[in-house]
Amino acid sequence: MDAVYRMQDFQDSVKCDRPPRLPQDRPVLRYRARMPWLQPLLLLAPAGLWLVLLLVFPTLLLLELSLIPDFRLGQVPGAYGVGNYLTLLDPLYLKVVGRSLFYACGTTLLCLLLGFPVSYWIALLAPRRWRSLLLLGFVLPLWTSSLLRAYAWITILRPSGVLNSFLGWLHLPGQTWLNSTPAIFIGMTYSFLPYMVLILYATLEKLDRRLLEAAADLGAKPSQTFWQVTVPQTLPGIVAAGLLVFISALGDFVVPDLLGGSSSMTVPRLVYQQFLGATRNWGLGSSLSLLLIGAVGVGIWLLLRFGDRQSDAL
Amino acid sequence: MEQTLAAVRTDLAFDIELQTVLKTFGDEAAVQDLTLQIRPGEFFSILGPSGCGKTTTLRLIAGFETPTAGSVCIQGQDMTQVPPYQRPVNTVFQSYALFRHLNVWENVAFGLKLQKLPREEVRSRVATALEQVKLDGFAKRTPAQLSGGQQQRVALARALVNRPAVLLLDEPLGALDLKLRKEMQLELAHLHRSLGLTFVMVTHDQEEALSLSDRIAVMNQGRLEQMGTPSQIYEEPETAFVADFIGDTNLLRGRVSHSNGSTVQLVTEAGLPVWTDRRSEWNGTLPQKLVVSIRPEKIRVSQLEAAGHDAHNCYAGRLRQVMYLGPNIQFQIELATGEHLTVLQPNRARLPALDTEVQVSWSAGDGRALVA
């Protein structure tokens, strides 16, 4: 706190060209000294209130509901128990969880494979003045709602859609990707690729080019330089981008619902079904929600722990 | 040592040969018309102010840049188009460029592992290299845990362990503080002597270049100004730029007024007559405009009317500034005609008071005449 005062006074004295004022001369600083909790409170209260009302409280509500087996709206709640969580162990639901993980992992991998070369090119090879424009091009899709983008993909992928007209024009067999796994991968990869590219770009842009030269100087062919220097040096960024895409893909509802069809049930869709669909099993829905929150939480924890420690070392 | 090595490797006239090299970036020529030959076992320095093209020259040798025109030969082989990873040279980078995801041992072993050498050989060569730079015992540290001087040593070991034909050093000591820099200079000189390797060092520190090098190339604005031994560069500069850049000097510009067999007199714009030795290459025609460079330590300062008329150039002046440098004292002296001279005297005599009248003198042979 002392240091802060001194810096402040120093700046004042530079600006006004007069002897520095002592902290006790200034009313604001006097309050700050007497009530150190006041300033943090004022700064944190609005957002804090918002979060407590709309995140913490509902989550606690979910937690309670999840502990009432088979609670349905309009029914008298039964006794507390872990029945909902036991239901999740049913192979039927485990399969849904497994499918969600599969989609999320696949999307992450696809985004990485598509995003890394692009980010590498923009960050290291493209002319400097084009970089912002190229990045803007990648971020542009984020300016439209994800719902609209999903509908656009329906137009492209449906049996009589743009894709099949094009394939027909090339005399290639038509595809029925809509309402199946390929459509989900296409839609999710399309949705989350910009995040992957942005984060990887930020990492690659910071990559010390002299390290690449040093590797070449020591006899490393370009491919050896890539695997032994570029990848290890950018690993924190790769992990961060991968986890972000994984988390987003795991929780995505729009793409699986609109492009996936009935056979590709995922956890978010199941949650939706339990709360707003025909079954209305709020208890089971709550436990599914908490499962998702837990999975995402683990992802974020990994991100903070693994990603941060690595970037500190950088 | 240099002679013995040169004798051992008589098969090669030069380790590095640049032939009329031109390198342009866009419209700008970073290096032009550069021809250099570096002998085996030599400690060769490329010296110049920032932006003179010295680093580009080193990068051309290392292979990070390809010349726009001209050729680069390493050990007699044309390497103009050969990528850096196939050249028998290694570089110590400015600010080291150590791999931060690897520890010291792994950094040093990097090049050897790429050569797929047997594990035992890698181990013993890395150990030797770390010993050479006095870093044995630091193998498990990461670069972040090392001081600047230690990182510098790792960079050296990482390059030397590959036994390059030529070691390239890009401002190797630039990031170190003065005391450490002096220490490392001694160590570089020692390494050079004990390894018998060809060193090519880029530096902007003229003192470093003078004290370490066998030969120096002075560059300015992408061109080679002069190449020679440290004493040639310092005592017999060929251009006013070299005279001014290497060490301190006083430059007096003027027109030739008299000349006889061995000396020339020129008169500055303010009317100061200066005698200087006539250079042998001017036996035929004498240039009309000359610059005389006189080193501050070659000028004598004495009490007015003291003996010293044996010197060709003897003038009265007023002491305008005294700078105490420790072992030396530097004077700024204003001559009666208005010229200012910098004079360096050993810290022996009592300091004269400011604004006293003094006499400065030097003989014709102390100055160096250059074409203006």
The DSSP result for B301-344, as a single string, is: EEETT-S-TTSSEEEEEEEEEEEE-SSEEEEEEEETTS-EEEEE
Of A42, A39, A54, A225, which is closest to residue A124 (Cα–Cα)? A225
- Identify residues of A whose CB sits under 8 angstroms from chain B CBs: 208, 210-211, 213-221, 224, 228-229, 232-233, 235, 313-314
Distance of CA A257 to the CA centre of its chain: 19
CB contact burial B39-60 (16+ within 10 A = b; e otherwise): bbbbbbbbbbeeebbbbbbbbb
Identify the pLDDT of residue B8. Answer: 45
d(CA A117, CA A249): 21
* Contact criterion met (CB below 8 Å) for B84 and B160: no
| Tokens 């005062």, residue located | A5
Contact state of B158 with A218 under an 8 Å Cβ cutoff: yes
**B111 to chain A nearest CA, in Å?**
5
How close, in Å, is residue B64 to chain A by CA atoms? 7
Integer Cα distance of B63 and B65 in angstroms: 5
Closest CA relative to residue B42, chosen from B214, B228, B190: B214
Helix or strand holding residue A36 (H, E) = none
Q: Give the model's pLDDT for residue A311.
A: 46
Query: What DSSP line would sit under B128-162, residue for residue?
Result: HHHHHTT-TT-TT--GGGS-HHHHHHHHHHHHHTT
Going by the DSSP 8-state scheme, the letter that residue A281 receives in this structure is B
Q: Which CATH superfamily is domain A83-313 in?
A: MetI-like (1.10.3720.10)
Kindly give the pairing relationship between strand B69-74 and strand B16-25.
antiparallel
Residue A260 has pLDDT above 50, yes or no: yes
Distance in angstroms (rounded) separating the CA atoms of residues B78 and B21: 13
Instruction: Say whether A219 and B83 touch across the interface (CB within 8 A).
Output: no
Q: Which residue, B272, B304, B294, is CA-closest to B342?
A: B294
| Measured CA distances, B138 to A133, B107, B127, B146, B273 (Å) | 46, 12, 11, 9, 63
Distance to chain B for A47, nearest Cα, Å: 39
The partner residue sitting opposite B101, judged by closest CB among A217, A219, A233, is: A233
- In this prediction, residue B87 carries a pLDDT of 95
**Residue B148 · residue B175 · CB < 8 Å:** yes
Contacts of B89 in chain A (CB under 8 A): 217
Residues of chain A in contact with residue B74, where contact means CB-CB under 8 angstroms, are none
Mean confidence (pLDDT) of chain A: 85
User: Can you give the pLDDT of all 372 residues of chain B as single tens digits?
Assistant: 444 444 444 456 889 999 999 999 988 999 999 999 999 999 999 999 998 999 999 999 999 999 999 999 999 899 999 999 999 999 999 889 999 999 999 999 999 999 999 999 999 999 999 998 989 899 999 999 999 889 999 999 999 999 999 999 999 988 788 888 888 899 999 999 999 999 999 999 888 999 999 999 999 999 999 999 999 999 999 999 999 999 889 999 999 988 887 888 899 988 888 988 888 777 777 888 889 999 999 998 887 666 555 678 888 899 999 998 888 999 999 998 889 999 998 888 777 788 888 889 898 888 898 887
Asked if residue A198 has pLDDT above 50, the reply is: yes
Give contacts of B91 with chain A, Cβ < 8 Å: 213-214, 217
Alpha-carbon span A184 to B12, nearest angstrom: 66
How many CB pairs below 8 Å do chains A and B form together?
Answer: 65
Q: List Cβ neighbours of B220 (8 Å cut-off, separation of 6 or more).
A: B48, B49, B52, B241, B245
Q: Is the pLDDT of residue A173 over 90?
A: no
Name the residue among B100, B144, B162 with its Cβ closest to that of A218. Answer: B162
B317: tokens are: 């002046």
- Phi (first) and psi of residue B31, to 5 degrees: -140, 135
Contact B91 A217 (CB under 8 A): yes
**Cα separation of A229 and A233, whole Å?**
6
Which pLDDT score, from 0 to 100, does residue A21 have? Answer: 61
Q: Which residue has the tokens 């049913």?
A: A90
Q: Do A213 and B100 touch (CB under 8 A)?
A: no
For residue A159, the surrounding DSSP H or E stretch is: none
Encoding tokens for residue A238? Answer: 């790769």
Using the beta-carbon criterion (under 8 Å), do B91 and A220 form an inter-chain contact? no
Return the pLDDT at B303. Answer: 77
Which of B92, B96, B99 would best serve as a mutation to test chain A binding (most A beta carbons within 10 A)? B99
Helix (H) / strand (E) containing A87: helix A83-88
Domain parsing of chain A, residue ranges = 2-13+22-66, 83-313
Q: Is the dihedral of CA B251, B252, B257, B261 positive or negative?
A: negative
pLDDT at A145: 87
Nearest-angstrom CA–CA distance, B3 and B12: 14
Looking at residue A281, what is its pLDDT?
87
Please say if the pLDDT value at position A6 is more than 60. Answer: no
Question: Phi, psi at residue B231, to the nearest 5°?
Answer: -70, -35
How confident is the model at residue B160, as a pLDDT? 93
What confidence score (pLDDT) does residue A25 get?
63
**Tell me, what's the ipTM?**
0.82
Mutant choice from A217, A224, A309 vs B, greatest count of B C-beta within 10 A: A217
What pLDDT digit, counting tens, does each position of A8-57 carry?
A: 444 444 454 555 666 566 666 667 777 888 888 889 999 999 999 999 99
Residues of A in contact with B26 (CB under 8 A): none
CA distance B249 to B228: 19
**Phi-psi group of A207: left, alpha or beta (phi > 0 → left; psi -120 to 50 → alpha; rest → beta):** beta
* Interface residue of A218, A234, A312 to substitute, partner B, most B CBs within 10 Å: A218
